[in-house]
């Protein structure tokens, strides 16, 4: 396969606050030795131009309110192909390579599972990624051609999420990080490099639900790249993804189900509350770096409940 190397610039932007997390207002971690557990998952809102977006994680780091830093490494287990989590550097690393485009429509993969931690507040999470120039570790596939994914300082600093969370004493914290690639990947005016400016959001899985449904085939034109845009709040006038509000908090691709013959979508990991949804056939034209004339139809307000899938058809 032909390899062409390009630079992808990465900036991090966190757009949501955590609610329903048992917050202790940022107080120090438990001083009585109490523990809880943490599960951390990753998901993605898709982008149209890419076939795959592979990110290789070698571990992650947590920063406690006590200023302690806990690093988890992905290491080779006793069995071939087995990956285990260790707090010591690995003699045999076994990083996780995840295709973010396979983690859409409410699908997620696990970064940590039921990991025991000292109970209390944690200030941030850092995802440790492999993005060494000239090495096939993190990369993007566009029209079957692989391009190196270069993350400036990614090997040294990782992807830091400056948003706190709490691990309850004797309880369990469960969160999902959403890489919204539709907001992130675009071709700049120079036309020389693809840019990746990830917008990440982190949600408490205890309080999330989903919106799913079908799109009438009459709305799907021959040139349609269908997507459903989801905005926080009621009665929002939908707009494209750009630097001005309102921006959707997530999007969902519309796909033809070969069994039912229906055009279906699902937007997952939405915290309970009201959302505005709108359908567009122009998703492929939406460049997050510019104001694009995207047309929307079927705008409606939908209420999401924790642990439930709200059905809304267009």
The residue among 243, 245, 244, 220 whose CA lies nearest residue 231 is 245
**Pair (148, 228) in one structural domain:** no
Are 141 and 229 within one domain? no
Measured between alpha carbons, how far is 259 from 33 in angstroms, rounded to an integer? 53
pLDDT-flagged residues of the chain (< 70): 1-31, 133, 150-158, 184-198
The count of structural domains within the chain is 2
Query: 3-state SS of the chain: helix, strand, coil percent to 5?
Result: 5, 50, 45
Q: What was the pLDDT predicted at 12?
A: 40
pLDDT for the residue numbered 72: 95
| Contact present, 314 and 297 (Cβ < 8 Å) | yes
Same structural domain, 148 and 220: no
Considering the domain architecture, whether residues 44 and 107 belong to the same structural domain is answered as yes
Last residue of a domain, one of 167, 183, 206: 206
Residues 144, 231 within the same domain: no
Say what the pLDDT of residue 280 is: 96
User: Pick from 206, 238, 259: which residue ends a domain?
Assistant: 206
Compute and round to an integer the Cα radius of gyration of the chain: 20
Average pLDDT of the chain is: 82
Which of these, 65, 89, 64, 94, lies nearest to 79 by C-alpha position? 94
Domain membership of residue 110 as a residue range = 3-206
Tell whether 159 and 257 lie within a shared domain: no
pLDDT number for residue 30: 56
Say whether both 188 and 235 belong to one domain. Answer: no
- CATH code of residue 303: 2.60.40
pLDDT at 187: 59
Q: b/e for 53-78, b at 16 or more Cβ within 10 A? A: bbbbbbbbbbbbbeeeeeebbbbbee
**Pair 264, 144 in one domain:** no
Q: Are residues 162 and 270 in the same domain?
A: no
pTM for the complete prediction? 0.78
Among candidate residues 144, 174, 206, the one where a domain is terminated: 206
Q: pLDDT at position 53, please?
A: 87
Residue 51 sits in the same domain as residue 186: yes
The pLDDT score that the predictor gives to residue 222 is 87
Which pLDDT score, from 0 to 100, does residue 214 have?
A: 97
Q: Report strand pairing: 13-14 vs 199-204.
A: parallel
Residues 102-147: tens digit of each pLDDT: 898 888 999 999 999 999 999 999 888 887 767 788 888 888 888 7
* E strand or H helix that includes residue 157: helix 154-157
241 and 190 inside one domain: no
- The half-sphere exposure of 255 on its side-chain side, counting CA atoms within 13 A, is 14
149 shares a domain with 215: no
CA distance 130 to 83: 16
Per-residue pLDDT at 137: 85
């Amino acid at each position: 396969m032909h390899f062409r190397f390009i630079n992808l610039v990465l900036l991090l932007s966190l757009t949501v606050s955590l609610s329903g997390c048992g917050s202790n207002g940022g107080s120090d971690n438990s001083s009585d030795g109490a523990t809880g557990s943490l599960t951390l998952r990753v998901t993605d809102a898709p982008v149209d131009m890419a076939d795959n977006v592979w990110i290789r994680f070698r571990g992650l780091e947590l920063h406690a309110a006590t200023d302690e830093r806990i690093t988890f490494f992905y290491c080779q287990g006793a069995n071939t192909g087995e990956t285990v989590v260790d707090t010591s550097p690995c003699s045999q690393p076994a990083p996780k390579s995840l295709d973010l485009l396979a983690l859409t429509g409410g699908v997620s993969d696990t970064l940590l599972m039921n990991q025991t931690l000292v109970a209390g507040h944690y200030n941030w999470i850092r995802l440790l990624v492999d993005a060494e120039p000239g090495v096939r570790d993190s990369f993007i596939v566009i029209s079957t051609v692989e391009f190196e994914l270069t993350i400036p300082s990614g090997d040294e600093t990782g992807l830091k999420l400056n948003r706190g969370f709490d691990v309850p004493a004797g309880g369990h914290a469960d969160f999902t990080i959403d890489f919204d690639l539709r907001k992130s990947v675009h071709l700049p005016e120079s036309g020389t490099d693809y840019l990746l400016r990830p917008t990440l959001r982190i949600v408490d899985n205890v309080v999330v639900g989903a919106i799913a449904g079908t799109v009438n085939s009459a709305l799907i034109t021959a040139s349609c790249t269908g997507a459903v845009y989801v905005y926080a709040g009621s009665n929002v006038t939908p707009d494209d993804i750009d630097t001005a509000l309102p921006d959707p908090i997530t999007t969902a691709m519309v796909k033809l189900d070969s069994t039912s013959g229906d055009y279906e979508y699902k937007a997952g990991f939405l915290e309970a509350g009201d959302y505005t949804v709108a359908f567009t056939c122009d998703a492929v034209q939406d460049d997050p770096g510019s104001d694009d004339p995207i047309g929307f139809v079927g705008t409606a307000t939908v209420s999401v409940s924790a642990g439930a899938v709200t059905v809304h058809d267009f």
